[in-house]
Amino acid sequence: MYKAVIFDLDGTLLDTLPSLAYACNSVLESLGHPQHELDDYRLMVGKGIPNLVWQMLPEACRETQHAEALKQYYISYEQNLFYELAPYPAIPDLLTSLHERGIKLAVLSNKVQEYSEQLIRSFFPGIFDCILGDSKDYPLKPDPASATAIAASLGLDNSEILFVGDSNVDMMTAKNAGMTACGVSWGFRSREELQAAGADHIVEKAEDILELLVK
């Protein structure tokens, strides 16, 4: 039924929350602000780094300190890119199985292009046909332009693609692009958020994605 799968990165393939939180808290500490708990960042991520940094700052300081905080964040995050980083359970096996079956695989992330490529090629070398992050060539998700560009690069119609992610942004991207939206329950956001955003499927484990593709 589906000839390709587009995966979100953070919260879908890799548990990047510790590294994101570590970089943010390092910046907050340097600026003299209170740090956030790890789980607080679950609702801040997903809409790009500038938005994450804006959300982490105390409201009264956002206008005046955002530019400096963003600069510090990129330095800290690059230095700690692999901090406590790991794929979610069974994800490597799932990707290998899909790749061996000839299903095209892509990553679409609001993470900076350079970081997206570095992470994917470190953990999943030779698996993905396309890696598209925030390169300023397309608007960030949930705008469908980047997802549609991936489909075109794979020579496929949007309707032939399963879009897998962990947030409402991912589900909205899939819907906006005319793709099938598949939410994962193990990511940063809740099942309720995925349902409200129009998920066509919600899977509990990586193996469930394979079942959707081989029916």
Domain assignments of the chain as residue spans, ordered by start = 4-15+86-214, 17-79
What is the pLDDT at residue 30? Answer: 97
The domain covering 4-15+86-214 belongs, at the CATH homologous superfamily level, to HAD superfamily/HAD-like (3.40.50.1000)
Tens digits of pLDDT across the chain (215 residues): 899 999 999 999 999 999 999 999 999 999 999 999 999 999 999 888 999 999 999 999 999 999 999 999 999 999 999 999 999 999 999 999 999 999 999 999 999 999 999 999 999 999 999 999 998 899 999 999 999 999 999 999 999 999 999 999 999 999 999 999 999 999 999 999 999 999 999 999 999 999 998 86
Residue 188 one-letter amino acid: F
Partner residues linked to 165 by β-bridges: 183
Cα-based distances in Å from 45 to 97, 178, 183:
29, 24, 16
Distance separating alpha carbons of residues 194 and 93, to the nearest angstrom: 24
Report residue 4 as tokens.
Answer: 């390709």
Q: In what order do the strands lie in the sheet with 161-165?
A: 130-134, 104-112, 4-7, 161-165, 180-184, 201-203
Name the CATH code of domain 17-79 (choices 3.30.2000, 3.40.50, 1.10.150, 3.30.70).
Answer: 1.10.150
Predicted TM-score of the model (pTM): 0.93
